[in-house]
Amino acid sequence: MRPPEVVLFWAFAAALSGVAVLGVPGVPLLARLRFGQTVRSDGPSTHLAKSGTPTMGGLLFVPVIAAVSLVLGGWSPYVWLALVLTLGHGLLGLADDFLKVALRRPLGLRARYKLAAQIALALVLGWGARSLLGLGSAVDIPFTGLSVELGAFYLPFVILLVLGATNGVNFTDGLDGLASGAMLATAAAYGLIAWSRGLPAMAVFAFAVAGACLGFLVHNHHPARVIMGDTGSLALGGALAAMAVLTRTELWLVLIGGLYVIETLSVIVQVAHFRLTGRRILRMAPLHHHYEVSGWSEARVTFTFWLVSLAFAAAGLWGLVVR
């Protein structure tokens, strides 16, 4: 059963206004706590001016997403599973940010601990979707009308999907407003997909994510007054993975979240090519930095990548809903 469209509007509006208002006292508080971003010396030189900008901005929108989803989406197991992935990854990112920023440990959380936590969260998602919600272990193949039964391979598949989604959003979070604006389009698309498939709780959750991203842009647009940090980017990546699995559009994520795929591939190709040849394909990875050091303004790169994200989201909607 589809939820009334007005509920989706209120989910979007409540999350937007909640994050926008919470940021008014929240951003100065993060600054007073001296949770300032440390800018890498090997990054674009224009980013050095951002050193000290308050980070951990995910603290402003992750709680709002949870509150709006539970109040308007109800206590659905779909919502709970989505929030486990979102909040779990948010806490993981918070630990990483805290070690880097507050305790001045440049490496942050050890990679093996982070990976173990992400695998555990992915297993919860895969088990919950297959066993708790009874969604099975078949995966639809885009544009074919066919599906593949993965069986015992479904949980490893979900692990790869979660790792890919979280890393993809994390790589994309490199310019003011880039990740939040890109996720706005992606989450809104998933909201419409969930609504069209009669998944009211997931539709509310997705529109809450979209609204929260727009509310965060009030404070995060260039020049950013706050940066989401791993607290925000990992949480959004977890939410993205949950939306794909719980709407049964796992492989469609490659299209709907095409921007995150491109950003991730740009890093993989750059590293692999450098190790094999000693030369770089891009001037800098991820891809948005390549354009930035090539002379594009940060605002131009961000706006262009927003349009790319919107195009991918629209293509996925066309394939799943309109076609």
Please write the tens of the pLDDT for every residue from 45-102.
555 556 668 889 999 999 999 999 999 998 899 999 999 999 999 999 999 999 888 7
* Size of the chain, expressed as the number of residues it contains: 323
What is the crossing angle of helices 77-101 and 200-220, to 10°?
Answer: 30
pLDDT of res. 309 = 98
Contact 37/54 with Cβ under 8 angstroms?
yes
Residue 234 to residue 93: CA distance in whole angstroms? 6
Separation of CA 213 from chain center = 10
- CB contact set of 126 (below 8 Å; sequence gap of 6+): 154, 155, 157, 158, 159, 245
Residue 191 to residue 187: CA distance in whole angstroms? 6
The encoded tokens of residue 105 equal 């440990």
pTM of model > 0.85:
yes
Residue 315 lies in a domain: no
The encoded tokens of residue 4 equal 């009334």
Containing domain of residue 27, as a range?
Answer: 5-251
List helix spans (H) across the chain: 5-32, 58-73, 77-101, 111-127, 154-172, 178-196, 200-220, 229-246, 253-256, 258-277, 287-293, 298-317
Q: How many CA atoms lie within 13 A of 155 on its CB side?
A: 11
Separation of CA 119 from chain center = 17
- Count structural domains, the chain: 1
Q: Report phi then psi at 249, rounded to 5.
A: -125, 40
Contact 306/180 with Cβ under 8 angstroms?
no
- Kindly report whether the peptide bond that precedes residue 156 is cis, defined as omega within 30 degrees of 0: no
Residue 238 to residue 221: CA distance in whole angstroms? 23
Q: Report phi then psi at 213, rounded to 5.
A: -65, -40
Residue 190 lies in a domain: yes
DSSP character at residue 45? G
Residue 262 lies in a domain: no
Among 185, 287, 183, smallest CA distance to 233 is for: 183
Contact 182/305 with Cβ under 8 angstroms?
yes
Residue 282 lies in a domain: no
pLDDT of res. 1 = 44
Residues of the chain with pLDDT under 50: 1
Helix (H) or strand (E) holding 35: none
DSSP character at residue 148? E
Among 297, 268, 293, smallest CA distance to 283 is for: 293
pLDDT of res. 176 = 93
pLDDT of res. 60 = 96
Among 211, 182, 183, smallest CA distance to 8 is for: 211
pLDDT of res. 36 = 62
Residue 14 lies in a domain: yes
Written as one letter, the residue type at 130 is: R
Percent of the chain's residues with pLDDT above 90: 80
Residue 285 lies in a domain: no
Q: In a 10 Å sphere around its CB, with 0-12 CB exposed, 13-18 middle and 19+ buried, how is residue 110 labelled?
A: exposed
Residue 203 to residue 209: CA distance in whole angstroms? 10
Residue 137 lies in a domain: yes
- Cα dihedral 40, 43, 46, 48 in deg (nearest 10): 10
Contact 155/247 with Cβ under 8 angstroms?
no
Residue 267 lies in a domain: no
